Amino acid sequence: MSKTAVKEHHEPWVHMVKRPAIDKKKAWLIRGIALLGALLTGALLILLLGHNPLEVYASMVNGAFGKKISIQETVKVTIPLLVTGIGIALAFKMRFWNIGAEGQILVGATAATAVVVYGESIPQVPRLILMALAAILAGGLYGMIPAFFKAKWNTNETLFTLMLNYIAIQFIMFLAYQPGWQAEGTSFPKIRTFDAASRLPKVFGVHIGWIIALVIVAAAYIYLTRTKQGYEISVVGESTNTARYAGMNVKKIIIRTMFLSAALAGIVGFLQVAGADGTLTESTAGGVGFTAITVAWLAKMNPFAMILVSLFIAVLQRGSSSIQTSHGIPASAASLLTGLILFFMLGCEFFINYQLIFRKRGKENANG
């Protein structure tokens, strides 16, 4: 067999390579084509279900923005996605794969609820401040656990953070059986509903979490692009060896950044229990910790871009809920429709950043 044939035998039929930076207009054209492809594929699914695609898509938009209350509910869904996405982005820019935002949200929510349970005599404003601080501290410390092990022994942060999610869930289920956490006069395993003094005030019909979220967006952008610590995160993300050569304390940066990442998830827990839900359950996070990974990825870790991406996903979620009642579409099909659209949008980012190189069949020399 010739050397060419041997080379072809070992060379993969297709391999992936990093694409050179492409023009922004071309990148947005690819995204537009992906969105069109998603809508057309979704339309085919809707047709198979026996519905008019145009009517269903119109119902999705109407379900998210059709009425004042619909807009308010869409904003409520956007808030946790936005803040959690920023928190995840801090870790991801450092190449620390934080898959534990779900658990960090729950731990933050648990700490905030503990202030409600044990601080009934505290006035509203100090109580809300203490709830927020407790959520930040608890979420941050929970995130520091896998960060410490990663920095000390180079453990796998993906599995570590993922497993911590289930510990947080089980702990809340345990608290639901504790008499001090239940509503007075009942032994039903459900954590008490918050009183008015433990709820966030509203602005334009939505709890003030949306204002807090916008402040976090601006602060995160400045932190990542205008501060020394933000620069250190980028350097560590590019190469830990380069960071060490430049005299950076990599272990300290990893632990510090993960504290901030998880602390933002903790804030989300506070916003959910004190703003959106008014109580704590094992489903308080509601999958936000995982969906926010998509937010961070699609937004390229840009806090301002995350506003649009999180709003887009909130519209899909609210819209899919709306078509279940307006058109009788099963929840599974509505979720599939949302998943198709997000799949196309994530897929297009792959083709913007990478390209597939197919093996060219060369001439074989039979006598070689």
Q: What pLDDT is stored for residue 197 in this prediction?
A: 94
Local confidence band at 368 (pLDDT 50, 70, 90 cut-offs): very low
Local confidence band at 326 (pLDDT 50, 70, 90 cut-offs): confident
Residue 73 lies in a domain: no
Residue 37 lies in a domain: no
Arithmetic mean of pLDDT, 126-153: 97
Question: What total of structural domains would you count in the chain?
Answer: 1
pTM exceeding 0.85: yes
26 or 244: which leads in pLDDT: 244
Local confidence band at 297 (pLDDT 50, 70, 90 cut-offs): very high
Do residues 105 and 80 lie in contact, with contact meaning Cβ atoms separated by under 8 Å? yes
**Percent of all residues in the chain with a pLDDT value above 90, rounded to a whole number:** 73
Residue 249, pLDDT > 60, answer yes
Residue 365 lies in a domain: no
1 or 232: which leads in pLDDT: 232
- The CA-to-CA distance between both ends of the chain, in Å, stands at 6
Residue 92 lies in a domain: yes
Q: What pLDDT is stored for residue 10 in this prediction?
A: 61
Residue 313 lies in a domain: yes
CB atoms within 10 A of CB 164: 22
Arithmetic mean of pLDDT, 183-190: 87
Residue 245 lies in a domain: yes
CB atoms within 10 A of CB 91: 30
pLDDT in tens, 10-24: 667 777 777 777 788
- Residue 191, judged by CB atoms within 10 A of its CB (0-12, 13-18, 19+), counts as buried
Q: CATH number of the domain that 259 lies in?
A: 1.10.3470
Local confidence band at 170 (pLDDT 50, 70, 90 cut-offs): very high
| Sequential DSSP letters for 65-131 | HSSHHHHHHHHHHHHHHHHHHHHHHHHHHTT-----HHHHHHHHHHHHHHHHHH-TTS-HHHHHHHH
Residue 299 lies in a domain: yes
- Name the nearest CA neighbour of 173 among 283, 285, 289: 283
Residue 160 lies in a domain: yes
Phi-psi region of 286 (alpha: psi -120 to 50; beta: other; left: phi over 0): left
Arithmetic mean of pLDDT, 36-52: 92
Residue 36, pLDDT > 80, answer yes
Residue 165 is part of which domain span? Answer: 78-328
